[in-house]
Amino acid sequence: MSNIPKLDNRDYESLLKEVQDLAKQYTPEWNFDKTSSDFGVTFARVFSSMMESTISRYNKTSYNHYLTFLNMLGTKLKPSSASSGTIIVNVDKGSDGAYIDKGTAVFADADTESGMILYETVDALSAIDTSVKSIYFTEPKGDFVGCAFNNIEEAEGIPVGPFRIFDNVFLNNLQCHELYFCDEVIFDMSKSDITFSFFNNLSAKGQKLLPKIFSDRENVSWQYYDGKNWIDVDSFEETENGVRIKFNAKTQYSMVMGVVSRFIRCKFKKILQSGISVTSISYRSNSEFIEPQGFFSGDTELSKNDFFPFGEQYTFYDTFSFMCDEAFSKKGADIEISADIQFVKVKLDNKAPGIKYKFIMSDMDFADLEPDDIEIEQIKWEYWNGSGWASLTSEKSCNEFFKISDKNETTKTMKFKCPNDIQKITVCSAEGYFIRARISKMKNQFDYYANYITPYIHNINVKYDYTNSDHKLEKLFVKSDLKENIIEIPDSGLIKFFEKYIPDYPAMYICLTRPLVQGMLRIFVDIEDGVHRFNPSLKWEYYADDNKGGGMWKHIDIMDSTDGFSHSEMITLIGKNDFKKTNIFGNEGYFIRIINPDMRYCDSSNISGRPVINDIKFNAVKVIQKDTHEPEYFYVDQDEENKVCKLSYQNVSDVEVWVNEFGKISTNEQEKFLKMSNKYVIPEYDELGVLEKLWIKWKPVPNLIAYGISDRVYELDCYKGEVLFGDGKNGKIPPEQYTESIKINYSVCSGSKGNVAAHSVKDFVSNIANISSVDNISPIMGGVDMETIDSAARRTFGQISGGNRIVSLSDFEEFICFNDRNIYKVKCLSHVNEDSKPEIGVTSIAVLPREFMQGYEKFQGIKNKIWNFLDNKAPATLSNSTRMRIFEVEYVEMCVSIDVVINDFNSYQGVYNGIESKLKEFLNPISGNFSGKGWAIGEIPRKEFIYNYIKSVSNIKWIKKINIFTKLLTPNGKKEIDFEDIKLRKFVVPVFGKPEINISVN
């Protein structure tokens, strides 16, 4: 009830006391006792009760005049406003999904008579079984590929974020362009070099470019694996057809794409736009001298330097073998063995033979005998072919390797071609590739009295060369764009690798587990709160079947309510039946690609200002709180004036009034109506196709008095649930029919009862196949109860005083509040921007919603409603100007530190809870302050305010100290700010922050 002053404040008790006082004055002999059953007292009570009722009606006289005046002004209470929100429909795994029609009802638990509250879907939805498998970003200028989300295991319920869109700064660059050349034998090298030759027999220009591409030191690095890491080679240089690389360490086994072997890697920083094309790749290697791995004399292992290969005393068929896997495994290579040999005379202890006497003897017969020299004249070199030792070479120089030469050479050299059938063998405990020298001829072999001329080796070295023998590469291992391919190189034909896959624009790739098939699909994108204005343009594509056995990117139309990921909202698209499964960045699935054609996301200077996606949810649909009832039908008598149709429920909304005018209008007019859409006219036909009813939609108006005799209009009282028609002068009278001629469709709105917390929606009212659950991931808000009389009066008076136009700043504040009852307060300032800085020509409108701090998504709906309102009310030059700013107020978290003294230990918890409760109550921007009506925008409570409010807490003896610490709540988190700086900000309101309460006992 309005705060209109009472004309008479007397009530029952005061009236009875007045009678008692008068009794003492006029009839002193009467002992008036209010508790007695005396007839006089009884009559006094009856009189007081009746008089109180009379005074009450008298006091309402002014209020009745007030209501009559409002009625004369045409004031009507605004009906309840429905809450709205977004729900996510979860589909059974592996199912075909479900179609959910517009107006399908869901319910949530609520404090109502039925124990639930109903909501209806605003749009139709095709719910499908799909989810985000991975998200990658690419950026062409930096050849960047970054992974923002990767759910390889396809675990359920994992949010895809948070991640910053098109982030090419904080995400790791996973891009690589690598070629792996594999050969287990040839690449078993140390102190070697290898020459790769690349051929393109189909293009002379391409052939000319290949050596330069693979020897470009600015773009290419050649590497080998040392057992722990990939190491750059010592050097590489361009050759006629390719590149020659050198290194001085041994290659080790590594695993590439599941293959264990020895690899040489070529790594590119950037790739050509056209890729690299070859018809064949060949390679050859050679080495410097290599030290063998082991030496054996017969079954005896020798040291690696300074040894007798056959022992000090040798005999026929003695063997000397040595192992060199790196060289002797190179089948077909030219092998060269070099040894530093010294021949040592080994004297035997055998005595010279005695003198043999003869009949006739000379002086020579009595001379001392000199021992002979036992020498190696010839050896045979052999290798193991898998079944036996086979002859390695028949060259004379090789077979006389251990023979003393006439030139007294100390360095012996031999060459041979490594057999193609050489195999590994175990000698003693060593397994590997061996060759051996076997003594096949000796000088003075059978002399008893002789010295051994024994070879003594200081060192042996081996080297090999493929100078005239190239090996053709059969497989090429390629890593690029996070994909791994093993390419078979055919004998003829062109192969192409490193084709540029990344588009020429920044792109975001979303991999889905299942395709987005035909239907109305809706995706909810949860954007972290922030101010993201003027986001770059985006284009959506999907990977489709090209009907030629391959795939291609096709454009897909969307309705983007997020404004380029500016705020949390839904993205709507039509599913496609030609989605093609593919593998991109090592992820197999169905892909959507979002590209930035204007290249603005290539600039990483403002990376922190880009929107952050917290989650992406499929099968999202908006719901609004309402309960749609079955249509109600009404009769109307002929020429019945001011027909009132009373609906079964109050607080109605979405009212549609249809009148059957079949047979009551002219043929021409009927034909005109039949050509109109079903939005305005609904014809009904019988089973023979004959028109029998023509429902025409009538228009609601604020007041019938402004309309004429033929206007199809009506007045609606949403609160009472009444529809009022005209009298034939002001508004047309509905025509009578032999059946009900008036049909009214409507819903019932529960106002603020429809505001529920997140995860409150339980399920659909009717079971729908293939649907597992329903959830509202954010609160459903915006429901407001019916407007109060005082609020309606202030709205009406404001409209009258401003001529129903918005002119002054106060008009802006009042009209915006009256237009949307989700708004609690508005502050409007000119020549001040949203940061409270002076800016000529700017008009700032700061809004405090009733449900404050609910995020950008909820405020966006309020903001759009304000814009729509201003388009109709404010001057066109102002509402269409970019100089008008509408934004939510700034929130300052006030953390109070307070020291209080109490008398009793037992009062500690009560005082603590009381102070915290008082602070929370006092700092509420809607219901705080001393008045309980909140804080004005730009008003911040001072210390003395807080002191005066909390000092009333029971059991506080005194308050020693109060300090206030303020934090500005920004899109990027909390920011500490000085209290004096807060006073300079014109659009702030306080909110409660966790206090620090220190209590001591006196």
Give alpha helix (H) positions in 735-889: 789-801, 809-819, 856-873, 876-879
**Gap between the Cα atoms of 136 and 583, Å rounded:** 13
Residue 165 CA, distance from chain mean position: 8
Length of the chain: 1002
Q: Per the structure block, which two tokens stand in for 312?
A: 């000090």
* Helix and strand counts by DSSP (H, E) for the chain: 13, 64
Mean local confidence (pLDDT), 851-873:
75
Average pLDDT, stretch 326-350?
87
Give me the pLDDT at residue 699, please.
94
Closest CA to 821 of 85, 118, 80, 70: 80
User: Which of 248-252, 368-372, 645-649 has the highest average model confidence (pLDDT)?
Assistant: 645-649
For residues 186 and 181, what is the distance between their CA atoms, to the nearest angstrom?
11
Question: Which residues pair with residue 660 across a beta bridge?
Answer: 695
DSSP 607-643: GGGS-EEEEEEESEEEEEE-EEPPPEEE---TT-TT-
Question: What does each C-alpha distance from 214 to 201, 240, 262, 361 come to in angstroms?
Answer: 17, 12, 20, 87
Determine the Cα–Cα distance for residues 648 and 543; give it in Å rounded to an integer. 54
pLDDT of residue 1: 47
pLDDT at 851: 80
Q: Which residues pair with 213 in a beta bridge?
A: none
pLDDT tens digit sequence for 603-613: 887 787 788 89
Query: 431 — phi, psi (to 5°)?
Result: -115, 135
* Spatial CA neighbour of 335 closest among 243, 474, 427, 433: 433
Q: Two tokens at 993?
A: 């922050």
Q: Given the DSSP bridges, would you call strands 713-717 and 699-700 parallel, antiparallel or unpaired?
A: parallel
Buried b (16+ CB within 10 A) or exposed e, 114-123: eeebbbbbee
Least-confidence region, from 386-400, 647-661, 672-686, 880-894: 880-894
Q: How far apart are CA 98 and CA 124, in angstroms?
A: 11
Q: Please tell me which residue, 819 or 726, carries the higher pLDDT value.
A: 726
576-589: pLDDT as tens digits: 999 999 999 888 99
- Using 50, 70 and 90 to split pLDDT, how confident is the model at 432? very high
8 Å CB contact between 495 and 552: no
User: Tokens standing for 900?
Assistant: 């209080």
344 strand-pairing partners: 454
Task: Give residue 461's pLDDT band: very low, low, confident or very high (50, 70, 90).
Answer: very high
Average pLDDT over residues 518-533: 80
d(CA 309, CA 862): 97
**pLDDT value of residue 661:** 93
Q: What is the pLDDT of residue 229?
A: 92
Q: Is the dihedral of CA 719, 722, 728, 734 positive or negative?
A: positive
End-to-end CA distance of the chain: 49
CA distance linking residue 400 with residue 378, whole number of Å: 5
Cα separation, 783 vs 82, in Å, equals 5
- What the block records as the tokens of 444 is 């003075």
Calculate the CA dihedral of residues 442, 447, 448, 451 and round it to 10 degrees: -60
Half-sphere exposure of 405 (CA within 13 A, CB side): 16
pLDDT at 408 over 80: no
CA dist 746 and 652 (Å) reads 6
Pick the closest to residue 335 from 295, 410, 392 (CA basis). 392
* SS3 label, residue 54: helix
Residue 587 is encoded by which pair of tokens? 């992820």
Confidence bin at 662 (pLDDT 50/70/90): very high
Identify the CA nearest to 814 among candidates 869, 871, 890, 876. Answer: 869
Contact 563, 581 (CB under 8 A): no
pLDDT higher than threshold 90 for residue 9: no
SS3 category, 574: strand
Q: How far apart are CA 130 and CA 91, in angstroms?
A: 9
Residue 604, classified by CB atoms within 10 Å of its CB into exposed (0-12), middle (13-18) or buried (19+), is middle
Give yes or no for a contact between 792 and 772, defined as CB atoms under 8 angstroms apart: no
pLDDT at 809: 77
- Mean pLDDT computed over 957-977: 83
Mean pLDDT in the chain? Answer: 86
Per DSSP, the three-state class of 23 is helix
Residue with tokens 């001298």: 289
Q: What is the three-class DSSP state of 816?
A: helix
Distance in angstroms (rounded) separating the CA atoms of residues 754 and 785? 10
Alpha-carbon distance of 72 to 764, in angstroms, equals: 46
Helix, strand or coil, per DSSP, at residue 443: strand
Pull the structure tokens for residue 515. Answer: 């395709």
pLDDT surpasses 90 at 423: yes
Res 14: pLDDT: 87
Q: pLDDT tens, 188-237?
A: 888 888 999 999 999 889 899 999 999 999 999 999 999 899 999 999 99
The Cα 885–Cα 986 span in angstroms is 14
Give the burial class of 800: count Cβ atoms within 10 A of its Cβ; 0-12 exposed, 13-18 middle, 19 or more buried: exposed
Distance from C-alpha of 651 to C-alpha of 575, rounded to nearest angstrom: 39
C-alpha distances out from residue 394 to 400, 424, 580, 854, Å: 10, 22, 65, 93
Residue 460 and residue 289 in contact, taking contact as beta carbons nearer than 8 Å: no
Lowest mean pLDDT across 532-536, 714-718, 812-816: 532-536
- Per-residue pLDDT tens over the stretch 745-778: 999 988 888 888 888 998 999 989 999 999 998 8
Burial of 656 (0-12, 13-18, 19+ CB in 10 A): middle
Cis peptide before 371 (omega within 30 of 0): no
One-letter amino acid of 381:
W
Neighbours of 62 (CB within 10 A): 14
User: What does the DSSP 8-state code read for residue 332?
Assistant: T
Ordered DSSP codes for 85-134: EEEEEEEPTTS--EEE-TT-EEEEE-SSTTSEEEEEESS-EEE----EEE
Chain centroid to CA 921: how far? 38
Query: Residue holding tokens 């009062």?
Result: 907
Whether residue 876 is predicted with pLDDT greater than 60 in this model: the reply is no
**Among 339, 401, 350, 394, residue whose Cα is nearest residue 376:** 401
Residue the block writes with tokens 């109502």: 112
Question: Read out DSSP for 400-426?
Answer: TTTSPPTT--SEEEEEEEPPTT---EE
Residue 570 near residue 777 (C-beta atoms within 8 A): no
Non-local CB neighbours of 767 within 8 Å, separated by 6+ positions: none
Pick the residue with more confidence: 449 or 548?
A: 548
pLDDT at 352: 57
Between 73-87, 274-288, 553-567, the lowest mean confidence (pLDDT) is in 73-87
Local confidence band at 534 (pLDDT 50, 70, 90 cut-offs)? low
CA atoms within 13 Å, Cβ hemisphere of 144: 25
The mean per-residue pLDDT over the stretch 352-366 comes to 62
